[in-house]
Structures are given as structure tokens and as C-alpha cells.
Chains A and B, each alone.
Chain A
Amino acid sequence: MLTFVARRLVLAVPVLLGVVFVVMLTVDLLPGDAVTLMLGEHATKDAVAKLRDHLGLDKPFLVRYLDYVGRVARGDLGRSIQQNRPVAAELADAWPATLELTIAALVLAAVAGILAGVASAVWPNSVFDALARLGSLFGLSMPIFWTGLVLIVVFSLWLNWLPVGGAGSLTHLILPAVTLALPSVAMISRMTRAAVLDVLREDYVRTARAKGVGEIWVLGRHALRNAFIPILTLLGLQSGQLMGGAVLTETVFAWPGLGRLMVKAIFARDYILLQGAVLVFALAFVVINLLVDLSYGLLDPRIGRQG
């Protein structure tokens, strides 16, 4: 198990190096002078020269890339141009809010999606199944930023139950978390339905029923446990969707997280901050999928040993 973890961690390093490479390269391909773009037309020569030096723009791309990687390895992500603060500090301020939002959404999506999916599979082609499938189609088709605005109109403007935006209390978390969770609920319920239906056709389920095991026990002990592996894979992939969705949700609800920071960085042309933010997102995505891979071993002992 440990060697498996170690191998996967080692494999994640080139992926992250590649992510940094791609982001730096896209910024490098930027038409025009990045520094003038960042500082504006009226920057003093002195300021321009200083920033050029700080960014190391006079050095070749590969040297700059290796420099950046070397500094990141030591925990130095550079200084944000706009705020003139270390990027690491900016990111440290923002990531707990994003973590809170995405975890809340993931838990919501997993619980609602799995419950709906199991119910659909247990009573296929029932009224509930039809409604759930129709609902999931809509869930997948609604633009997340629009869902957020509609929820604000209904729950903040008309009903006056929940705050319009901002962060701080549990009531602030409800609308953004529900907004972010909805497309994932749809995906997870679809996937769960398919996976559980597949498992329920298996011989061992028939055997269990034949020997008189109760229906609840069949579902919990046999069906769900085996259906869980595809569901878990999907949860890992959904975490990527959630991070992308967080950028939109945070913008809609003025949620002070990484996504909003990133959008701000793009508008301010603060590429150092942008690089740092993308790196954190990619790192999180890689780590989550690593955790998913590891948990396969817990669910299905055959997988872990092959490592």
C-alpha cells in the first residue's frame, strides 16, 4: 500500500510541473509586452525595469520556468503585482473559503445524488424515477451562474430567508453550496442509478435474495458496496467540475475564495497570482483523485494489492 501511494505521488509531480509549464507558456505567448499590460501605459521607466527584473523577463523562457519551479519548491510563489503581497499569503487567505464551499457542495451532491440514484434504481420506471431523471437532465443543462441568480431572487429577494451574498455564517453557505452542488447531483444520481441497476442484475444479488437476505441488507451490503467504485471515480472527477464551478459560484455570491481571487487576477493582469491560483487548483485536483484511487483499495481488496 505504501509503495502504491509513493508511486502515485511521484507520478503526480510531472503532471504538476506540466501544469505550471502550460500556464507559463500561455502567458509567455501573450501578444505585446506583459509588463506594460500589467502596469498600464503610464508606468514610469523605473517601475517597468523593476518589474521586468522581478519577473526575470530578460531571461529565456526555460530559465524562467526552472527558476519558478525552484522557488515554488521552496514555498516561494512570488509577489502579487496588484497587492504587492506574497502570492502564498494571498492564496492562504482565500483557500479556506473555497475548501469550505466545495466540501459542502460535494457532501450535498454525494448524499442527494446517491439517494436519488439508488431510489431510481430500486424502483425503475416509477414516477419518482421519471422525475429524478428529468430533474437530472435539467440539472446538467442549467448554467451554474444563472441557477445562483435564480436562487438569490427566490430565497433572498422574494422569501427573504437567506442573505444575497458574502460569507461568515452557515446561512451564507447554503445558497452557494446548493448552486454549486446541483450539476453534480445530476451527474451522480445518473451514474448511481446505472451502477446500482447493473449490480442488481448480478448473480450474487440473486443468490443473496434466494437465500432470504432482506432487501435492505441486499442493497446496503451487496449492491451499494459494489456500485460504489464507479460512483467514487465520478466523485473524483466531479471535484474538478466543482472547482471550475467554484469560480462562477464565488463570483455570483461574492464568496471570498480562490475562484474570485483568480478572476480578479485575470482582470488585473496579475499573472504571478494567476499562476499560483491555477497551481493550487491543479494540486487539489491531483490530490483528490489520488485519494479516490487509494480508497478503491479499501472498497475492493483486489485492487490495492496489484498497486
Chain B
Amino acid sequence: MTAWRRFLRNRLAVVGLALIVLLVLSAALAPWLAPYDPTRQSLIEKRAKPGAKYWLGADEFGRDILSRVIYGSRVALLVGVLSVLIALVGGLLLGTVSGFAGGWLDTVMMRAIEILLAFPYLLLALAIVAAMGTGALNTTIAVGVWGIPTVTRMVRGSVLALRETEYVGAARALGAAAPALLRRHILPNVVPGLVVYATLFMANAILLEAALSFLGLGVQPPTASWGLMVSTGRDVLLVAPHVATVPGVAIMVAVLAFNLVGDGLRDALDPRMRGSI
């Protein structure tokens, strides 16, 4: 049975995939889907409860929460995809160099990776944002850099294992250069693991962006970011709980979708890995 068929037999994973398609559609079609301009304020309707006019209610400035949630999917997906790319490209480069070079360079790089991994979750991203300043771009970089160490380790591990195999040795003996080896032999072996990691990382990237924005250190107002929306709602939590809680559901659904697909991919690509990550 092919990996794709195995994936489709996993009902939860298919639900996740459907949710991701919905998210992408909502991000792509935001201007047509959103009933209102996400920044349009209407102070007399501030904190309006969910109802006929505002399906999910209005926030502290009378902005339509549904429209902001729809536009927020753009921020979440964009920051997520770009930070995944940063983590993958950075990790692939560093991991290959480290694995191929070996010797002292490998040792130094691995020690550096260990140091980055010694930062508890969130703290490395916090330190980067504290130094570089807030905003969508810096948030993306902070989230992406946070993912580099893990990818580097995965890639280096594969390179080390493959370097010793006979077919890679044979390719080398035939005069294949490092880039060709990387493309023809190493990458095809790392990609399944990386695809799974990238999907699960996407879930974590969305969570991390939301967390940074919630703290006021990520995406800045008036951009509609889910984490930021929860943060604004927090001030009126006790009088209008829907302002903070509704956008959080969007975060949860998005993260859940990528987690489901990531789990499904892992089980489909390598049944032996089931439940191991």
C-alpha cells in the first residue's frame, strides 16, 4: 500500500487536511469572505455580543471579530510557512556541512546546537525578539531560528549514516561532488522525516507566533493576528469574554489541523515510527 493510501485511510488525518484546505482558502479569499473591513471601527458597537450583525461579536473597538479571524489566518499561515522555510533551509545547510565536514567543524557546530537547545522553549525566540524588536518579520525570523537546531540534527544524522553506505561511497568514487551527492542520495532519504517535522513544526510555529503576539512582542496592531486578538480581549475578559476566547478557537483549530496531518504523515510514511515522536 502506498504512503498516500495509508494517509487517506486515517480519518483524523483527512479531517486535518480538510481543515488546512479551509484555512488556506480563508487566507486566500479573505477580502471576499470577510463581511467587514477587519480594521473598521464602530465605537458605539464595541464589545457587541455575537448576533445577527456580527456573527462572532465585536471587539473593544467595535471591529468585527469574524472578519479579523478570517484575516488573521493570513498572518498565521504566512508566518508559519516562512518560518518553516527558514528552519528547513538553515537546518539543511548547517546539517549537511556538519555531517560532511566532520572533524573539529562538526564538533564545534554540534556544541553550538546543544547550546541553542539548552534554551527552554519560547525563551530563544523571546531573546531574539527582545534584541531585534517586534513586528511580523522579526517574529517570523525568531520562530524560524528556533526550528533550525532540530532540523540541523536530523539532517546531520542522515548524512552521517549515509556517508558510510556503499552506494554513496561508490558515487563518490565515480567522482560525484558534494552537491550531487546531496541532491541524489542524501535528500531523498531525509525528505520523509523533514516533511513530518515541517508539518508538526508548522503547528508549533503558529502557536509560537500567537504566543509572542499575545505577549505584545510579535505582530503589532492594527494587524489582525489571532494571538494579538486574544491579548486585546484579555483586558475586557470579565465584561466581554467572547472577545478573547473566540480568536483562541481559531488558533486551536489551525494547530490541531497541522498536528493531525503531521501525525498522519508520520504513520503513513513510516509505520514503524507510529507514536514515536
Q: Known: A146-B252, A247-B126, A266-B217. Is A286-B234 also a contact (CB below 8 A)?
A: no
Give per-residue flags for A29-70: 1 if the beta carbon is below 8 A from chain B beta carbons, else 0. 111000000000000000000000000000000000000000
Closest Cβ of chain A: how far from B37's Cβ, in Å? Answer: 25
Given A146-B251, A153-B241, decide whether A137 and B259 contact each other with a Cβ distance below 8 A: yes
Inter-chain contacts of A143 with B (CB < 8 A): 207, 210-211, 214, 227, 230, 248, 251-252, 255
A-B contact count (CB 8 A): 149
B53 within 8 A of A: no
- Shortest Cβ distance from B130 into A: residue: A266
Q: Are A149 and B230 in contact (CB under 8 A)?
A: yes
Min distance, Cβ A258 to any Cβ of chain B, angstroms: 11
Counting from the closest, the 8 A-B pairs by CB-CB distance are A244-B122, A146-B248, A18-B115, A244-B121, A26-B131, A194-B275, A141-B256, A240-B120
Can you offer 12 A-B residue contacts whose CB atoms are under 8 A?
A: A26-B131, A140-B259, A141-B259, A146-B244, A149-B244, A150-B248, A243-B120, A243-B121, A244-B123, A247-B123, A248-B211, A263-B215
A window 99-121: CB within 8 A of B:
none
Of A80-88, A89-97, A277-285, A298-306, the segment with at least 4 beta carbons within 8 Å of chain B is A277-285
Contact of A149 with B237 at beta-carbon distance under 8 Å, contacts A143-B207, A143-B211 already known: yes
Return chain B residues, CB-CB under 8 Å to A262. Answer: 126
**Bitwise interface map of A from 1 to 42 toward B, beta carbon under 8 Å scored 1, else 0:** 000000000000011101101110011011100000000000
Beyond A138-B252, A141-B255, A157-B238, is A26–B130 a contact (Cβ under 8 Å)? yes
Q: In the complex, are the beta carbons of A286 and B118 less than 8 A apart? A: yes
**Which of chain A's residues have a CB closer than 8 A to the CB of B123?**
243-244, 247, 278, 281-282
B81 located at the interface, meaning its Cβ lies under 8 Å from any Cβ of chain A in the complex: no
Q: CA–CA, A301 to B257, complex, Å?
A: 42
CB proximity to A under 8 Å, residues B107-166: 111-112, 114-116, 118-124, 126-133
Q: A27-B131, A194-B275 are contacts. A251–B215 as well, Cβ < 8 Å? A: yes
User: Is B127 within 8 A of A278, CB to CB?
Assistant: yes
User: Does A79 reach chain B (CB closer than 8 Å)?
Assistant: no
Indicate whether B23 reaches chain A with its CB closer than 8 angstroms.
no
In Å, the complex CA distance between A141 and B204 comes to: 9
**Contact status A240-B121, CB under 8 Å:** yes
A116 to chain B, nearest CB (A): 15
Interface contacts beyond A141-B255, A284-B120: sample of 14 additional A-B pairs, CB < 8 Å, sorted by A: A15-B115, A22-B116, A26-B131, A29-B132, A31-B133, A141-B256, A143-B251, A143-B255, A145-B211, A150-B248, A194-B276, A243-B120, A243-B121, A263-B215
Bound: A79/B130 CA distance, A: 19
Shortest A41–chain B CB gap in Å is 16
Q: How many chain A residues have a CB neighbour from B under 8 Å?
A: 55
Please tell me which one of the listed residues B111, B122, B129, B203 contacts residue A14 in the complex, with CB atoms under 8 A apart.
B111
A22 touches B121 (CB 8 A): no
Are the CB atoms of A137 and B115 closer together than 8 Å?
no
A142 located at the interface, meaning its Cβ lies under 8 Å from any Cβ of chain B in the complex? yes
Per the bound structure, the CA–CA distance linking A271 and B248 in Å amounts to 31
Report yes or no: A145 in contact with B120, Cβ–Cβ below 8 A. no
Q: Is the CB of B216 within 8 A of A267?
A: yes
Check: A231 CB closer than 8 A to any chain B CB: no
Chain A residues whose CB sits within 8 angstroms of the CB of B276 once the complex forms: 194
Q: B245 within 8 Å of A by Cβ? A: yes
Contact A241 B230 (CB under 8 A): no
Q: Which residues of A lie under 8 Å from residue B203 when comparing CB positions?
A: 140-141
Interface residues of B in 6-50 (CB under 8 A from A): 12
Q: Which of B115, B126, B245 contacts A22 (CB 8 A)?
A: B115
The contact string, 1 if C-beta is below 8 Å from chain B, for chain A 190-230, is 10011001000000000000000000000000000000000
A18 and B241 contact, CB distance less than 8 A? no
**Chain B residue with Cβ nearest A243:** B120
Q: Is A185 an interface residue (CB 8 A)?
A: no
* Distance from B252 Cβ to chain A, minimum over Cβ atoms (Å): 5
CA distance A153 to B233 in the complex (A): 12
Instruction: Indicate whether A257 reaches chain B with its CB closer than 8 angstroms.
Output: no
Is A181 located at the chain interface by the 8 A CB criterion?
no
Q: Which residues of B contact A141 (CB under 8 A)?
A: 203, 252-253, 255-256, 259
Q: Is B260's CB within 8 Å of the partner chain A?
A: yes
A27 to B123 Cα, complex, angstroms? 14
Residues of B within 8 A of A30 (CB): 131-132
Q: Which residue of A lies closest to B128 (CB)?
A: A26
- Find chain A residues with CB under 8 A from B115 CB: 14-15, 18-19, 21-22
**Residue A164 at the chain B interface, CB threshold 8 Å:** yes
Q: Report A166 CB to chain B, min CB distance, Å.
A: 14
Chain B CB within 8 A of A245 CB? yes
